[in-house]
Chains A and B, each alone.
Chain A
């Protein structure tokens, strides 16, 4: 998938961040200590779980500030700040190297009139700011929560006292909430800061955008199926995950398709000779989708074609690209329909917004066209007034290329021109245009609903709405088919949950526990007989671990030794060497200690305390 390389991804992410960037930039430009009552101007940026977005934002902010020669951004992470001296040194170095490079920093230190200053002296920074004419020096703490509060207080009070000479602006990246962050700092530290709060887009939003671009792009040849999609989005909502990590997972999915699925060769549009050389024809004939396709053909009565496909390689090779092309087009139509539904929902749905990912999962399992979302959408679309409908049509026109859509739009425009000035038109389905009549019949009140008398324009408008709804319904039912029914979907639809899930959720603890508890799952057993649980043939550590599993929270070492010795005693009838077994016992014990599963107990001297339980 070349078209969605890292550059495409970068564009999407930059687009998402653009709003916040301009806000922060204008904040940095406009504020000064004077506008903040003498406090340090502070921008609080909450990033939520979208941890990586801040560094993107900062590097772009840095680029902008440097290009206009207003100043620069110094990024500081909690790892750079073990104590005050090192932190200051890092800040100064980062500020200088940011514009002048590493050599510039060395030169800056040595080429000065006067004595050599200490590396953490802010006089250096002051000097630098004067030389460069810096108007704004933004100090960004990327993970402010991880800084030691005491250190932060020291640092900020230092900045405060230098504020009349160095134009600091502090930018704090916050992953939880402003209140929580503020509450954790001492009051004296909070009193030094004043500023504004910015919010970066949630990770989920970025991920949705990436996914939408990937799947609905007209050049896409390979799609992610339902299982993969739901796995991907499960990960985003359940764990801390950056958009970058998401795109890495997507890339992995594509790679596993291209490396593990021989049918992927069809996507490269190879020569027929290449296909003929390999056993691709046989592979295609074994596909479930091929079988389904043939069954359908037989039902239609074209047995000749089926026979040809089964027996004639040449014919199959000739036909395959055609079907592949057609079915890929149908996949594109599916996603186009998804976008249509998404756009319509923005106009019809009031409360909760369904996003593209939800809709895609439904569409990929072939359930979208009958889902309540779509039915509701169609029902609400009927009641839209002419203003909203006009907007909707413009949005739809950009997606659907259908002459009917254009004529509807045209008709609506002419209708609106004839009756301009009388407010938006309402269709006959609107709640305002039905009237409830009350009549008394045989001393009972009868309620009857009837159409209010519609004006001529309204009737005409209702007509247009009906046409649009009919168009929508036809379009959706036509395009929203189950992709699993398509012939050759194995080639262009990647839908295997497994390598993805396993690869991105490694299970080291489970693996270690299993290896220790049942070592022959991994090692080659020397004897053929399936053995009793614990045996002397197993590695000593594993034996001890199994004995350990049987014990309580506190284990007497002597008991453990007895049991351990017992294992060897029963197996080797001729008597075994005490000393060898003892040495095995000790090495096993120290290995378990290294794993961190046991430790010396403080309660009883000759006991060990268990510190890990299996199966958690």
Chain B
């Protein structure tokens, strides 16, 4: 089969990949000697693996495919390669001949593979293609793995190794010259729309076919321009957004509403004007995948009502834990040097103390706003830090409190990066605090302080127990394990001097605290006024 024929037979199923299909078909075709190594690369959802499989199946070359993402270690990968090869050559029964199915080094693999391939019957000694899918994502891979695997094809003449990468390879990354690369670029606008339109519009009851076929192409390109294109959405994303929005988009036609302006029929522009809000609200939410999907589009009309009626349920923590979490949040978000001003009982009543507190609150608010702005500016335009931004920065460093905010390793506590910055939690990062500080702040903010001081002593001990649960829920985490999380997920030891850090966003804690009668803004620097 000629590469051209392969391409024409496959492109009905996978359009817009003619060039790549022809390249692969000609490089891997059974009658032409193949290059020892071939690199196929492109970002995810560009149809690399699918096309490769289809081409191999069409040109009828014996091949084995190993998904590297299923291999846990390098050794696992090598064993898998050997196994899948044996299986593809239908020599699985003779596994004892080939190293008892064990393979720990690439050099060993080369020997074993050569034996296997040589053991084939004489009339079947053609080429064999070994596909290593997503090989750049291999876990625990030694540095030399890729270049070593690339050498396999050079050592064994009848073998052709295809490396599928999802990142763009660096030049000469295999340490060998002139390895042919086949690139799968992302689909362009025209291609993406063509692919979506190659399938018909989702059928809807009550929508005439004629209207559907007239409006759908415009709709798809609008969706691409407004949602899929700017977010670099893949084809499946694009299709699911289209499927989800289409019923809402044509809802006026289906419900039999009269078009505005005295016309008798809906056309695309009228529908678009009517449904502008869809692209703004539902469209954006359609981009984000949720584990629990929203209401089905059938109840589209009632959806906003239901949403307002049932706000996202707050988890209910017990009273004591909520208070501890609140104190942890405050400890994380108040500079330690301002503790006496904000939390001391001595300074709680006097006028001058109150003025001082208000002053610091304003200072911190300005500071955090400036920080947020600066960060936003940096996000907008990371390449050219303009002068304005710099000036703000110098102003901050001059401010007396900037030292309190000089954070190096603390992480943002906000849930979604952008929302956290704009949200009411104005101090951007949660800083670690020692446990004793948490206890002290707990006593300061306790809305129902115990009447007898004897009972106070028990509080610290109960706090430890609750803190352990909060830590298990990852609401409060030891600060050290932030950096070395992987090593210490199971262990629960902590020293008295160790630092802790709160791990959730402020809005959430604020609401929880309101439930037990603590106003976070009252204590938080920059929270009120």
Q: Which residues of A contact B (CB under 8 A)?
A: 37, 42, 44, 46, 48-49, 51, 78-79, 81-85, 88, 114-116, 118, 120-122, 143, 145-148, 150-151, 154, 157-158, 161-162, 175-180, 182-184, 187, 190-191, 193-197, 202, 236-241, 505-510, 513, 596-597, 599, 611-613, 615-616
Contacts and interface: CB of A to CB of B under 8 A. Distances in A.
**Interface range for B:** 35 or more
B494 to A, nearest CB: 10
A177 B486 CA distance: 23
B184 to A, nearest CB: 19
B118 interface: no
A509 B489 contact: no
Given A115-B95, A184-B415, A616-B440, A505 B462 contact: yes
Contacts, number: 166
A177 B314 contact: yes
Interface in B67-112: 67, 69-70, 72-73, 75-76, 79, 92, 95, 100-102
B47 to A, nearest CB: 15
Interface in B440-474: 440, 443, 456-462, 464-466, 469, 472-474
A84 B466 contact: no
B504 interface: yes
Interface in B314-355: 314-321
A289 to B, nearest CB: 29
A350 to B, nearest CB: 18
B458 A510 contact: yes
B96 to A, nearest CB: 8
Contacts of B304: none
Interface string B416-447: 10000000000000000010100110010000
Interface of B: 67, 69-70, 72-73, 75-76, 79, 92, 95, 100-102, 139, 240, 288-293, 312-321, 415-416, 434, 436, 439-440, 443, 456-462, 464-466, 469, 472-475, 485-486, 489-490, 495-497, 504, 508
A114 B94 CA distance: 9
B318 A49 contact: yes
Given A120-B72, A121-B76, A196-B292, 8 more contacts: A81-B489, A84-B72, A114-B92, A115-B100, A146-B472, A182-B291, A194-B291, A241-B318
A179 B319 contact: no
Contact of A146 (B240, B436, B459, B473): B473
Contact of A183 (B67, B79, B416): B416
A116 B103 CA distance: 12
B461 A507 contact: yes
A211 B474 CA distance: 32
Nearest to B415: A183
A367 to B, nearest CB: 22
A176 B443 CA distance: 25
A569 B260 CA distance: 102
Given A177-B313, A506-B461, A616-B460, A239 B466 contact: yes
Contacts of B462: 239, 505
B316 A118 contact: no
The 5 closest A-B pairs by CB, nearest first: A115-B101, A596-B496, A510-B457, A183-B415, A616-B439
A507 B489 contact: no
Contacts of B102: 115
A130 to B, nearest CB: 15
B70 A184 contact: no
Contacts of B458: 505, 507, 510
A49 B72 contact: no
A508 B292 contact: no
A108 to B, nearest CB: 17
B292 A197 contact: yes
Contacts of A611: 434, 436, 496-497
B70 A118 contact: no
A252 B303 CA distance: 51
B69 A150 contact: no
A146 B434 contact: no
A151 B67 CA distance: 19
A193 B291 contact: yes
Contacts of A239: 318, 320-321, 462, 465-466
A151 B69 contact: no
A591 to B, nearest CB: 14
Contact of A190 (B75, B289, B313, B469): B289
A146 B488 CA distance: 11
A145 B434 CA distance: 23
Contact of B508 (A37, A114, A180): A180
A118 B73 CA distance: 10
Contacts of A48: 315-316
B140 to A, nearest CB: 9
A147 B458 CA distance: 31
A195 B69 contact: no
16 contacts: A49-B316, A88-B72, A118-B72, A147-B489, A151-B489, A175-B315, A177-B312, A179-B415, A183-B416, A194-B289, A238-B319, A239-B465, A505-B458, A507-B461, A599-B497, A611-B496
Among A116, A151, A196, A596, the most chain B Cβ lie within 10 Å of the Cβ of A596
Nearest to A115: B101
Nearest to B464: A509
B271 to A, nearest CB: 26
Contacts of A202: 316
A195 B457 contact: no
Contact of B415 (A83, A180, A237): A180
B457 A615 contact: yes
B473 A176 contact: yes
Nearest to B443: A616
Contacts of A612: 436, 496
